[in-house]
Amino acid sequence: MAIVEELLRTEADGGISFGNHKLEQKTKKEDYEHAGDLYKVKTYQEITKLEKNGMLLYESVPGTSVLEFKESADGVEFIVEGDEDAQLTVGLKEDTEYEVFINGKSTGKMSTGFGGKLSLGVDLEAAGEVAVKVVQA
């Protein structure tokens, strides 16, 4: 497992990695600039939350470590790691239908409502690491 010791970092491919699900106390990093936007992360064993310009971009309960998080015009993709199954919430476009892929396999289509939030569960306890891709349908 590759936790993000510095809490939030920019990767060579332009994505970001964030979170540390091993921390016992809540820790945060604010005002991290990436691609002209400001990011804030709060993370520990119980929750990981990422905001972009003050808006929710990612949240997990319990806490997770997220690698290679990339946004595009039609969705997001990332690798999520954790010690137990997690409920994820991703901030996307309002009132839009998305197809969700877990480890390359479609789990079906879901729609965001007002606020643009999409919630999904990932089985991490057995796998440890899962690739997630959410693409506008």
* CATH number of the CATH domain containing 61: 2.60.220
pLDDT given at position 127: 78
Judged against a pLDDT cut of 80, whether residue 2 lies above it is answered with: no
Domain membership flag for residue 2: no
Domain membership flag for residue 52: yes
Given a contact cutoff of 8 angstroms between Cβ atoms, the answer to whether 66 and 82 are in contact is: no
Domain membership flag for residue 36: yes
Note the pTM of the prediction, 2 decimals: 0.95
Domain membership flag for residue 1: no
Q: How far apart are CA 52 and CA 33, in angstroms?
A: 10
pLDDT given at position 1: 53
Domain membership flag for residue 3: no
Nearest CA to 17 among 68, 56, 63, 75? Answer: 68
Q: DSSP labels for 25-90?
A: S-EEEEEEEETTEEEEEEEETTEEEEEETTEEEEEEES--EEEEEEEETTEEEEEEE-SS-EEEEE
Q: What is the pLDDT of residues 79-136, one digit of tens each?
A: 999 999 999 999 999 999 999 999 999 999 999 989 999 999 999 987 789 999 999 9
Q: How many domains does the chain have?
A: 1
Task: Residue 32: give the domain boundaries.
Answer: 8-136
Share of residues in the chain with pLDDT > 90 (%): 91
